[in-house]
Amino acid sequence: MLSLRRQFQLIRTDLRAYLLVNLLVYGALLLGMALGLLFPDLHASRAASFAGGGQGALVNAVIGNGWVFGTVIFLVNVFPTALLLITLPSLVVPFAGLAVFAIKTIDLGITLAPVDATSRLTLIPHSLTLLIEFQAYVLVMFGAYLLGRSWLRPGTVDAATRRQGYVRGLTRLGQLWLPALVLFFIGAVYEAVEIYFLVPLVLGS
């Protein structure tokens, strides 16, 4: 609880920035969905690329086992996405991870666009998955923002040099990773439940 108080304090202190990061993340997702609806061929191309790519093959390989599927979802969200796309670029270039993930999210939104009755019905239970997992991404991106700001403006964290600001910003990023991991875990569990129980129920199969 003491640890979580620190994270909530970080959010309360910079609530405006936290809300703007939410707007960036969910806005990029909705923009991608809108583009997929407006350009069905683009959606079909991105969906086919996902199905025929590495992630699609990985999902097909583990879909038969719910525990393995949930574990893979958790690992993919944490390592290739939150770590490689958001955190690592931000450690090198201030705010870089925010731009990289926003582009990735637009692409994902295009893939998930509800272009037909099946995808619209599937999106009903899947919307909660998106809400949970993308809130985890928001926390990581908020941490990346705090890192970049304290790096460029060390005075915002009462640091005398940019090196000190970087270290203090990195500490804040690390603190926000903890609740993000919790949300990634919850999201992976729910997504497994969604795929095996809720989607068949909604589709009537």
3-state DSSP of the chain: CHHHHHHHHHHHHCHHHHHHHHHHHHHHHHHHHHHHHHCHHHHHHHHHHHHHCHHHHHHHHHCCCHHHHHHHHHHHHHHHHHHHHHHHHHHHCCCHHHHHHHHHHHHHHHHHCCCCHHHHHHHHHHHHHHHHHHHHHHHHHHHHHHHHHHHHCHHHHCCCCHHHHHHHHHHHHHHHHHHHHHHHHHHHHHHHHHHHHHHHHHHCC
Q: How far is CA 102 from the centre of its chain?
A: 9
Q: What's the mean pLDDT when you consider all of the chain?
A: 94
Residue environment code for 180-194, b if the CB has 16+ CB neighbours within 10 A, otherwise e: bbebbbbbbebbbeb
Question: Nearest CA to 130 among 111, 117, 146, 144?
Answer: 111
Q: Which two tokens stand for residue 82?
A: 């939150």
For 63-104, the pLDDT digits (tens) are 888 899 999 999 999 999 999 999 999 999 999 999 999 999
Residue 141 pLDDT grade (very low, low, confident, very high; cuts 50, 70, 90): very high
Bigger pLDDT: 50 or 179?
179
Whether the CB-CB separation of 84 and 77 falls below 8 Å is answered with no
For 145-166, the pLDDT digits (tens) are 999 999 999 999 999 999 999 9
Q: What is the pLDDT of residue 205?
A: 61
Whether the CB-CB separation of 186 and 60 falls below 8 Å is answered with no
Residue 53 pLDDT grade (very low, low, confident, very high; cuts 50, 70, 90): confident
For the whole model, what pTM was predicted? 0.95
